[in-house]
């Protein structure tokens, strides 16, 4: 099945909600709604009219006409005149300039502070986040209006200072929204994929996180603009803003209130203009909130392995990746809990090695430790992981960042989630090509197309312009693989790369990985719970159970004569061994969770061969015929001495 056929197949499959809509999309959708259009049109009209006040206003804002005092609308004064005979329309137009600029100042300051603080705290977490939370709690306890009055009292009647202070005072609340949105995005797989690819934090935040938090930010900006207009009018009404005769909408309302008994009409023009402006900002915020919550749809295509022939078993003499006695711990309720223990693993250059086991055995966390991408609080607490001579467990952040994407790359399980929903396939690949190789736009584009072609898109231009939701699962995974190849890695970690794919697509992806491995002399660590995939793809494999590698060796020998009851159980429960009409064989029981591992063999509770000796003490690793090893005392009973 070609990639384009995958596309057609994907289109027919069930659509599933994707991630947040692109901010531009949110704007477009907002404008497609009548309320959004009306709000934007009204606000645009206010801005244009205020900006063109010197052209549009029939009079100067301070020009008095003593023959027409407190007059109703007339031909000469379309909105009437105030107590000094000044033209209300002209003052409204000029007043809008001051009021809108004040509101813009508050929004600008508030958003700048909130975005910077919220993004930093949400993206980096840790002590930065804790400090942020503490500071926000303190700031939110400060009463806004009292502080503004204090600022005005100290600085004098400077509305600009008041608006800057307003921006700073409301920023913590908005920053909390930004932080929340960033936290959600930070845990997305495509952010991990971007980090794995070696993109710097600044780039990831600007290109991938910011567009995703833009929706909530726009909503907050809109609501803040309305609030700032109201605050500006309120302070002017109290006589704390621009000094008369300079017009602001607040001043005009204040002056109209003074003569309300003689000419109530005077309150109408500024009141309506201001009220509608605040309403428009509120409506715009509502519409933006609704639209930014809408999801794009994307299609998923799930997969099937097909045997790949021509495999050669290689026993590494000089390992590219070598893990020794690795222990990984995660934070537990009382003390750190071990999730991987005493792990040894080697991958030779150009070798395809499998890591297999039931869910929760520690496969993914092992792979993430290689990339220095362990979850917060988790750490390699013992052992060493050497890659091409560098100890990854103790390497600096800069070293790890330098290795990611260029020397080691990763492909994740769910291709849809490893791509940013608001970035096209071509841009995904191009930004990594630019990052790793640089060069002119033309060179980056040419290399991008070359990479897309190499992963099975005969017409890469067609695919480059598509967004992730326009790709089938298989196509998305091919794009993710092209991204991983951009840095020409020596080791590719593929974490269940076909689990989320249709069986009809799985074979294509596996074949592609195998071809790329051969053509690029690239090593692959293939993580899977599917023995068939390991059997068809890998030269050697490691079987993991409850944090331990329980057996390792060449795939052919291990699957023919397993030397651990767990490997044997996995092979026996493979569906292809099932007999029609009979129940599938299954290993009884479940994997013990970390923290509840027994002292002895972790598999003992589910093992038919287990004896007291197995339960009494940790079982050492026994070396069988190279490269076979097992963590079982009874391997001979299983393999009959053939292992
Ligand atoms: N951040 C974390 N905090 C606490 N425990 C964790 C964390 N990440 C993983 N674990 C635990 O570590 C163990 C191994 O998880 P891991 O994801 O590596 O398993 P896996 O074999 O890859 O499973 P799957 O096939 O489902 O991905 C699991 O018991 C899991 O609950």
CA of 295 to the centre of ligand 1 (A): 29
Average pLDDT, the chain: 83
**Non-local CB neighbours of 447 within 8 Å, separated by 6+ positions:** 433, 437, 439, 486
pLDDT per residue as tens digits for the range 89-121? 999 999 998 889 999 999 999 999 999 999 999
In this predicted structure, what is the pLDDT of residue 293? 56
The Cα–Cα gap between 161 and 197 comes to 45
pTM for this predicted structure = 0.61
CA of 409 to the centre of ligand 1 (A): 20
CATH 1.10.3720.10-classified regions of the chain: 22-293
Closest residue by Cα to atom 1, ligand 1, is 375
Task: Map residue 404 onto helix, strand or coil.
Answer: strand
Share of the chain above pLDDT 90, in %: 32
CA of 492 to the centre of ligand 1 (A): 20
User: ipTM surpassing 0.90, yes or no?
Assistant: yes
pLDDT reading at 6 higher than 50: no
Pocket lining: 547 vs ligand 1, CB cutoff 6 Å: no
Task: Map residue 199 onto helix, strand or coil.
Answer: coil
Closest residue by Cα to atom 31, ligand 1, is 360
CA of 505 to the centre of ligand 1 (A): 27
Nearest one of 570, 612, 605, 610 to 587, comparing CA atoms? 570
Closest residue by Cα to atom 5, ligand 1, is 330
In this predicted structure, what is the pLDDT of residue 448? 94
pLDDT per residue as tens digits for the range 544-597? 999 999 999 999 988 888 999 999 988 887 765 555 556 666 778 889 999 889
In this predicted structure, what is the pLDDT of residue 186? 77
CATH 3.40.50.300-classified regions of the chain: 321-639
The superfamily CATH assigns to domain 22-293 is MetI-like (1.10.3720.10)
Nearest one of 582, 614, 588 to 601, comparing CA atoms? 614
CB 542 within 8 A of CB 340: no
Q: Give CA separation, 577 vs 215, 468, 569, in Å.
A: 51, 37, 12
CB 570 within 8 A of CB 531: yes
Query: What tokens does 619 get?
Result: 């079982």
Pocket lining: 359 vs ligand 1, CB cutoff 6 Å: yes
Give the CA angle between residues 455, 457, 460 to the nearest 5°: 115
Does domain 321-639 sit in CATH 3.40.250.10? Answer: no
Task: Map residue 606 onto helix, strand or coil.
Answer: helix
Pocket lining: 100 vs ligand 1, CB cutoff 6 Å: no
pLDDT per residue as tens digits for the range 594-641? 988 999 999 999 998 899 999 999 999 999 888 899 999 988 887 666
Closest residue by Cα to atom 24, ligand 1, is 359
Pocket lining: 357 vs ligand 1, CB cutoff 6 Å: yes
């Amino acid at each position: 099945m070609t990639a384009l056929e995958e596309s057609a197949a994907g289109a027919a499959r069930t659509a599933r909600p994707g991630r947040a809509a692109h901010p531009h999309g949110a704007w477009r959708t907002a404008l497609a709604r009548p309320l959004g259009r009306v709000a934007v049109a009204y606000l645009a009209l206010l801005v244009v009219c205020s900006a063109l006040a010197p052209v549009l206003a029939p009079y100067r804002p301070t020009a008095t006409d003593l023959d027409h005092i407190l007059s109703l609308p007339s031909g000469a004064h379309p909105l009437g005149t105030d107590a000094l005979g000044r033209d209300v329309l002209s003052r409204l137009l000029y007043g809008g300039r001051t009021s809108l600029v004040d509101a813009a100042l508050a929004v600008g300051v508030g958003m700048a502070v909130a975005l910077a603080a919220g993004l930093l705290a949400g993206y980096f977490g840790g002590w930065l986040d804790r400090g942020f939370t503490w500071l926000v709690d303190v700031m939110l306890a400060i009463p806004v209006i009292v502080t503004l009055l204090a600022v005005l009292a100290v600085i004098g009647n400077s509305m600009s200072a008041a608006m800057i202070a307003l921006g700073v005072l409301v920023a913590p609340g908005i920053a909390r929204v930004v932080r929340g949105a960033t936290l959600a995005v930070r845990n997305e797989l495509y952010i991990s994929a971007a980090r794995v690819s070696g993109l710097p934090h600044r780039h990831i935040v600007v290109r991938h996180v910011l567009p995703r938090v833009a929706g909530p930010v726009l909503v907050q900006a809109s609501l803040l603009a309305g609030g700032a207009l109201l605050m500006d009018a309120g302070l002017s009404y109290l006589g704390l803003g621009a000094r008369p005769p300079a017009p602001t909408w607040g001043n005009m309302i204040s002056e109209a209130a003074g003569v309300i008994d003689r000419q109530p009409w005077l309150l109408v023009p500024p009141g309506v203009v201001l009220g509608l402006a605040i309403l428009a900002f509120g409506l715009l915020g509502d519409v933006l909130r609704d639209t930014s919550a809408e999801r794009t749809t994307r299609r998923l295509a799930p997969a099937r392995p097909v045997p790949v022939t021509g495999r050669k078993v290689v026993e590494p003499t000089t390992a590219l990746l070598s893990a020794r006695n690795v222990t990984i711990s995660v934070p537990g309720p009382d003390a750190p809990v071990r999730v991987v223990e005493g792990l040894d693993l080697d991958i030779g250059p150009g070798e395809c090695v499998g890591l297999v086991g039931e869910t929760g055995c520690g496969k993914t966390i092992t792979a993430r430790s290689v990339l220095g991408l362990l979850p917060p609080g988790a750490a390699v607490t013992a052992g060493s992981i050497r890659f091409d001579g560098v100890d990854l467990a103790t390497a600096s952040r800069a070293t790890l960042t330098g290795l990611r994407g260029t020397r080691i790359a990763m492909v994740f399980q769910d291709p849809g989630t490893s791509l940013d929903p608001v970035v096209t396939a071509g841009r995904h690949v191009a930004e990594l090509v630019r990052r790793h190789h640089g060069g002119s736009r033309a060179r980056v584009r040419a290399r991008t197309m070359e990479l897309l072609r190499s992963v099975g898109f005969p017409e890469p231009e067609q695919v480059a312009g598509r967004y992730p939701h326009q790709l089938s699962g298989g196509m998305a995974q091919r794009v993710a693989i092209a991204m991983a190849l951009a840095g020409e890695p020596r080791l590719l970690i593929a974490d269940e790369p076909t689990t989320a794919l249709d069986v009809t697509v799985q074979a294509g992806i596996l074949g592609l990985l195998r071809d790329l491995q051969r053509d690029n002399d690239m090593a692959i660590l293939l993580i899977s719970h599917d023995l068939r995939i390991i059997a068809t793809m890998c030269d050697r494999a490691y079987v993991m159970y409850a944090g331990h590698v329980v057996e390792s060796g060449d795939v052919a020998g291990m699957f023919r004569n397993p030397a651990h009851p767990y490997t044997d159980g996995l092979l026996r429960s493979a569906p292809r061994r099932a007999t029609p009409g009979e129940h599938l064989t299954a290993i009884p029981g479940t994997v013990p969770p970390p923290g509840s591992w027994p002292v002895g063999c972790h598999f003992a509770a589910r093992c038919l061969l287990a004896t007291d000796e197995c339960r009494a003490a940790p079982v050492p690793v026994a070396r069988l015929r190279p490269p076979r090893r097992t963590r079982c005392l009874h391997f001979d009973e299983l393999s009959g001495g053939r292992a």
